[in-house]
Amino acid sequence: MKKQLYVLFASLLAGTLSFGQSATTSVPENWHQLDRSATGYYGISLDKAYSFIKTKKLKSKQVLVAVIDSGIDTLHEDLKPVLWTNPKEIPFNGIDDDNNGYVDDVHGWNFLGGKDGRNVTRDSYEAARVYNSMKTKYGTLIPDESSVSDAEKGDIEVYKKAQQKIVGDANQMEIAFIKRMLPVFLKGDSVVMKEMGKEEYGCKDLENYTTANSSAKFTKMYLLELCKENNSDEISNSDIKNQFESTLKKAEAAEIAPEAFRKDVVKDNEADINDRFYGNNDIMTSTSMHGTHCSGIIAGVRNNEKGGDGIADNVRIMMLRAVPDGDEHDKDIALAIRYAVDNGAQVISMSFGKDFSPEKQWVDDAVKYAEKKGVLLVHAAGNDSKNIDSTDNFPTVNFLGGKRANNWIKVGASGDPMNGGITANFSNYGKRDVDVFAPGVRIFATLPGGNRYGKLSGTSMACPVVAGTAALLLEYFPTLSAKQVKYVIEKSATTLDIDVNIPGTTDKVKLGELSKTGGLLNAFEAVKLASTLKGERTVKKEVLPKPKLTKNKKG
Q: What is the pTM (predicted TM-score) of this model? A: 0.86
Residues 306 and 417 in one domain: yes
Check residues 550 and 396 and name the one with the higher pLDDT. 396
- Mean pLDDT along residues 157-185: 79
Q: Is residue 497 part of a domain?
A: yes
Residues 87 and 131 in one domain: no
Residues 87 and 136 in one domain: no
pLDDT of residue 243: 77
Q: What percent of the chain has pLDDT over 70?
A: 88
Burial class (CB in 10 A: 0-12, 13-18, 19+), 93: middle
Q: Is residue 118 part of a domain?
A: no
How does pLDDT run across 299-326, given as a tens digit for each residue? 999 999 999 999 999 999 999 999 999 8
Residues 426 and 375 in one domain: yes
Closest by CA to 445, choosing from 24, 2, 29, is 29
Cβ neighbours for 346, distance < 8 A, ≥ 6 positions apart: 63, 64, 65, 374, 375, 376, 471, 474, 482
Check residues 521 and 183 and name the one with the higher pLDDT. 521
Rounded Cα gap, residues 68 and 345, in angstroms:
12
Residues 324 and 406 in one domain: yes
Residues 386 and 462 in one domain: yes
Residues 210 and 131 in one domain: yes
Residues 237 and 373 in one domain: no
Q: Is residue 119 part of a domain?
A: no
How does pLDDT run across 403-444, given as a tens digit for each residue? 999 999 999 999 999 988 999 999 999 999 999 999 999 999
Boundary of a domain, candidates 252, 269, 294: 252
Residues 157 and 213 in one domain: yes
Closest by CA to 355, choosing from 322, 321, 327, is 327
Q: Is residue 169 part of a domain?
A: yes
Residue 291 confidence class, pLDDT cut points 50, 70, 90: very high
Q: State how many domains the chain has.
A: 2
Check residues 543 and 71 and name the one with the higher pLDDT. 71
Q: Is residue 33 part of a domain?
A: no
Domain of residue 172: give its range: 126-252
- What is the residue-averaged pLDDT of the chain? 89
Q: Is 108 strand, coil or helix?
A: strand
Residues 371 and 434 in one domain: yes
* Four-residue CA torsion sign, 443, 444, 445, 447: positive
Residue 12 confidence class, pLDDT cut points 50, 70, 90: very low
Q: Is residue 6 part of a domain?
A: no
Residues 215 and 314 in one domain: no
